[in-house]
Amino acid sequence: MVRTKDPAVRALLIRRAAGMLSAREPVTLRSLVAGTGVSTMAVYTYFGGMSGLWRAVRQEGFTRLAAALDAVGETADPVRDLAALGAAYVANAKANPDLYRVMFDAGFDLEDPAAADATLQALVDAVTRAKARGRFSAHVDAAGLATQSWTIGHGLASLVIHGPLPAEAFGHAIPMLTALFTAAGDEPARARRSIRKGWVLEHAPRHD
């Protein structure tokens, strides 16, 4: 072997693609490499083509999402944390709608499927902690409840980002999560309080 790929170039292209996505500029093979000094063939050596680039961009989206969820952290109130994770998920999607769209596009062939699982795992952990603290019933299926929470977050994010629902519809998450967590065994008033505390749609970092 004689010449090695430069990981910086790879990262640059991914970042640039995500940036052009946020800027709503059309991301074509030629426009992507324009001004970067690298030639069009770089996309083929690093990603095998445009579809490979999109795969990498999807991957990057999940990586950034995982980072956003990781930043939520844990408190003594796992139900609040669960709502906070949902809020972070939705806020991330809202701040980067085009990247979010690409993430769930064209099947689901990621380079590293574990990145998507990491998203779910943060929720599973919070549910497990809620069970340990007695907030949720012991025979709650943690993975199942986490998936259901994900469904709510993704459903709202998708319907808002794609247009059918206005941004205010994100507020529906509060009664929905309350109903879900109450069914899981939490006391209704307590669940509502925790969720309201956790559901803060603050400004998520815009990836560009």
Partner DNA sequence: CATCAAAGCATAACAATGCCATGTATTGTC
Partner DNA sequence: GACAATACATGGCATTGTTATGCTTTGATG
Contacting residue, 14, 126, 152, 204, with a second copy by CB under 8 A: 152
Distance CA 172, CA 176 (A): 6
The residue range among 2-10, 39-47, 106-114, 128-136 that interacts with a second copy, by the rule CB under 8 A, is 106-114
Q: Least CB distance from residue 188 to a second copy, whole Å?
A: 8
Contacting residue, 37, 73, 107, 164, with DNA by CB under 7 A: 37
Contact assessment for residue 180 and residue 70, using Cβ atoms and an 8 Å cutoff: no
Contact assessment for residue 72 and residue 84, using Cβ atoms and an 8 Å cutoff: yes
CA-based nearest residue to 51, from 95, 25, 17, 74: 17
Contacting residue, 48, 162, 167, 187, with a second copy by CB under 8 A: 162
The residue range among 44-52, 76-84, 134-142, 198-206 that interacts with DNA, by the rule CB under 7 A, is 44-52
With tokens 């809620």, the residue in question is 130
Distance CA 126, CA 184 (A): 13
Q: In the complex, which residues of this chain contact a second copy (CB under 8 A)?
A: 104-105, 107-109, 116, 144, 147-148, 150-156, 158-159, 162-165, 169, 172, 175-176, 178-180, 182-183, 188
